[in-house]
Amino acid sequence: MGTISIALSKGRILGETLPLLARVGASPMQDAEGSRKLILATARRGLRLIVVRASDVPTYVANGAAELGIAGGDVLAEHGGAGLYQPVDLGIARCRMVVAARRGFDYASAVRQGARLRIATKYLNLAREHFAAKGVHVDLIKLYGSMELAPLLGLADAIVDLVSSGKTLRANKLAAVEEIRPVSARLIVNQAALKTRRAELQPLIEAFARAAQGRAGNSTARK
Ligand code: PRT
Ligand code: MG
Would you say domain 4-93+184-222 falls under CATH 3.40.190.10? yes
What pLDDT, in 10s, does the model give residues 5-57? 999 999 999 999 999 999 999 999 999 999 999 999 999 999 999 999 999 99
What pLDDT, in 10s, does the model give residues 67-104? 999 999 999 999 999 999 999 999 999 999 999 999 99
Are the beta carbons of 65 and 190 closer than 8 angstroms?
no
Please tell me the distance from the alpha carbon of residue 141 to that of residue 122, in angstroms, as a whole number: 8
221 residue type, one letter: A
12 CB near ligand 1 (under 6 Å): yes
Q: Give helix 12-23 / helix 198-216 axis angle, nearest 10°.
A: 100
> Where in the chain are the domains?
4-93+184-222, 95-183
- Which ligand is nearest to the Cα of residue 184, counting in written order? 1
Q: Whose CA is nearest to atom 20 of ligand 1?
A: 72
The reported pLDDT for the residue numbered 30 is 94
- Which ligand is nearest to the Cα of residue 33, counting in written order? 1
* 4-93+184-222 and 95-183 have identical folds: yes
What pLDDT, in 10s, does the model give residues 193-213? 999 999 999 999 999 999 999
Please tell me the distance from the alpha carbon of residue 160 to that of residue 139, in angstroms, as a whole number: 12
Residue 110 has pLDDT above 90, yes or no: yes
Q: Measured from the CA of 168, which atom of ligand 1 is nearest?
A: 43
Please tell me the distance from the alpha carbon of residue 9 to that of residue 31, in angstroms, as a whole number: 15
Instruction: Tell me the pLDDT band of 216, cut-offs 50, 70 and 90.
Output: low
What pLDDT, in 10s, does the model give residues 145-158? 999 999 999 999 99
User: Distance, CA 11 to ligand 2 centroid (Å)?
Assistant: 7
Instruction: Tell me the pLDDT band of 214, cut-offs 50, 70 and 90.
Output: confident
Q: Whose CA is nearest to atom 23 of ligand 1?
A: 93
Residue 218 has pLDDT above 70, yes or no: no
The reported pLDDT for the residue numbered 1 is 75
Would you say domain 95-183 falls under CATH 3.40.190.10? yes
Are the beta carbons of 119 and 127 closer than 8 angstroms?
yes
Contacts of 105 (CB under 8 A, 6+ apart): 151, 157, 158, 177
pTM of the predicted protein model: 0.94
